[in-house]
Amino acid sequence: QLILYLTSRILVGCIQLAAKKGIPPFSWKGLAFTKTYPWAAAGIWGTVMMLFEEYPDVLHPSLRRSMDEIYRYASFDSGKS
């Protein structure tokens, strides 16, 4: 988990460095973090959902178990036992 955390932080740092150095498209004002983050998050979550539905065997076992618990086995009917 530490490696994934560090990878994400390094990636964000490299993108910020590219923006400071004026390297397109990272330097474009329309691609500010607050505007692009929701789209990136939606794309990543959509990819996870697609993999979970179509190819669950390629997901990490802990992610697959969590997704199963949330989307397959959880009871959404709060009014009945």
d(CA 19, CA 57): 37
pLDDT, tens digit (0-9, with 9 covering 90-100), for 23-74 = 888 888 877 777 778 888 899 999 999 999 999 999 999 999 999 998 887 7
- pLDDT number for residue 1: 77
Q: Report the range out of 17-21, 37-41, 53-57, 75-79 with the highest average pLDDT.
A: 53-57
**pLDDT of 16 higher than 90:** no
**pLDDT of 3 higher than 60:** yes
d(CA 14, CA 26): 10
